[in-house]
Amino acid sequence: MGLSIAIVGSGPSGFYTAEAVLEKWSDCTVDIVEKLPTPYGLIRYGVAPDHAKTKTVAKSYEKLALDPRVRFFGNVEAGKDVSVAELRERYDAVVLATGCSTDKKLGIRGDDKKGVLGCAAFVNWYNGLPAARDLAPPLDTESVVVVGVGNVAIDVARVLVKTPEEMAATDLMEHAARAIHASPIKQVYMAGRRGPLHAQFTNVELREMGHLKDAAAIVDPAQLPETIPDEAKAEFSDRQLRLIQRNIDTLRDFAKAAPGARKKRVHFVFFANPVEILGGERVTGVRFEKTKMEKGRATGTGEFFEIPCGLVIPAIGYYSLPVPGVPWEGGKAINKDGRIEPGLYCVGWIKRGPSGVIGTNKPDGDEAADQIAADTGGAGKGKPGRAGLEALLAARKVRVVSFADWKRIEAAEVARATPPAPRRKFATVAEMLAALDASGSAAAPARAAAQAD
């Protein structure tokens, strides 16, 4: 008898797991349980709206979702609509792929002031995650500090300074475009505790900052090393050293380039450890301690400086919230090589924490498939699987959004976009469901059991 497998979460790690198990067992069934009516996790709500090419990876996930052995249960939240224990009763294997959705806090004095917004919240807001719709970030400021020198920090800085024309062919949310483009923001400071050798940007993302229409990238050449020091050569692999060299070269180009007529600035500030958020109720600036690198660590020098700003966006990492009924520690599910316990597995960011690119999640899917193979021998135990979940959700009157339903939502988003924008995303779940109803779907409460698509 074929295995019945439930995957909770439809981001990259969920789909890579689906791919791995479908390849391993031709007779398995795979049900993907997703709390939103929309699939793809951070591909839709994290990846920057102006990076359409990155999002095309979703096409390969769509192929998997359309495999006859796979069923998408959108708008179903594990821990709310169905518990993990209930899934485990019904499936031979349950794989958690729920990602990391919450911001790490700066943990310094003043970080609870109005005007300090985590990057997860901010990115979700401009990308249209329904829960972030009403964030209303205070953009009524000329100056923003983004804490962090990685790709997410760069995404945030770029979206803040790109012109409406540069964003026209993107799926930036309308409410975000209106607010950002009406804001007086002129200066964005990206500040990192460590130096340029330890910055986490990929070179393509960094170089992009040199090609913005109305914003110049500003770098202090004194913060760039002449050559990579021997100490760093011991710390990094050859591949990392090549990337570091490319980044240093790019930063040097920025340092040399004249801003010209561009009115906005993105400043790269290294060796700057934020120690206090300044202001009264609302942020007025950030106080930093200058650092120096010692044995790969940033240590304080006792010298301080301040950057005035009205908005601070820490982009220092994400962590995941516990899924009820799952052992949790340090923002991750407690697991050994992806196995939480026999029958329950985890992949992607809830397994490893928030690191790596989309493709980094792929080996997790392979590993989960191997663990399932080791625990089950590849044979199902005759659990009810899909029929059991459908019956439970129908009894609870959960409105399940199938993959075909999602395609109707997507078609409506594409249809209402103003070219050259590829789509105009719905901002709330209610809008998505209304679009579905308007599209003539047979969707109705308690129709989960009747889903044939």
User: Which residues contact ligand FAD by CB under 6 A?
Assistant: 8-14, 33-36, 41-42, 46-47, 51, 54, 77-79, 97-99, 123, 152, 155, 323, 348-349, 356-358, 360-361
Strands (DSSP E) along 117-177, which ranges? 143-147
In whole angstroms, what is the distance from residue 88 CA to residue 5 CA? 9
> Taking a C-beta distance cutoff of 8 angstroms, is the pair 47, 58 a contact?
no
Tokens 């990337």 correspond to: 243
Nearest distance, CB of residue 248 and ligand FAD, angstroms = 22
Nearest distance, CB of residue 15 and ligand FAD, angstroms = 8
Nearest distance, CB of residue 233 and ligand FAD, angstroms = 27
Nearest distance, CB of residue 122 and ligand FAD, angstroms = 9
Residue closer to ligand FAD (CB basis): 103 or 289: 103
Residue closer to ligand FAD (CB basis): 298 or 313: 313
Are β-strands 143-147 and 311-314 bridged in parallel, bridged antiparallel, or unpaired? parallel
Nearest distance, CB of residue 379 and ligand FAD, angstroms = 27
Nearest distance, CB of residue 119 and ligand FAD, angstroms = 7
Residue closer to ligand FAD (CB basis): 47 or 206: 47
Residue nearest ligand FAD, Cβ-based: 11
Residue closer to ligand FAD (CB basis): 77 or 235: 77
Nearest distance, CB of residue 258 and ligand FAD, angstroms = 29
Residue closer to ligand FAD (CB basis): 64 or 216: 64
Residue closer to ligand FAD (CB basis): 43 or 219: 43
Distance of CA 378 to the CA centre of its chain: 33
> Taking a C-beta distance cutoff of 8 angstroms, is the pair 387, 85 a contact?
no
Nearest distance, CB of residue 20 and ligand FAD, angstroms = 13
Structure tokens at 241: 């050293």
Q: If you ran DSSP here, which 8-state letter would residue 439 be given?
A: T
Q: Burial, 140: exposed, middle or buried (Cβ in 10 Å; 0-12, 13-18, 19+)?
A: middle
- CB under 8 A, 24+ apart: contacts of 224-233: 224/196, 224/248, 224/251, 224/252, 224/255, 225/195, 225/196, 225/197, 228/197, 231/295, 231/296, 232/197
Nearest distance, CB of residue 446 and ligand FAD, angstroms = 19
Residue closer to ligand FAD (CB basis): 35 or 104: 35
Are β-strands 339-341 and 215-219 bridged in parallel, bridged antiparallel, or unpaired? unpaired
> Taking a C-beta distance cutoff of 8 angstroms, is the pair 177, 164 a contact?
yes
Residue closer to ligand FAD (CB basis): 9 or 115: 9
Contacts of 59 (CB under 8 A, 6+ apart): none
Residue closer to ligand FAD (CB basis): 12 or 385: 12
Closest CA to 3 of 450, 348, 402, 369: 369
- Alpha-helical runs (H) found in 193-298: 203-208, 230-235, 238-256
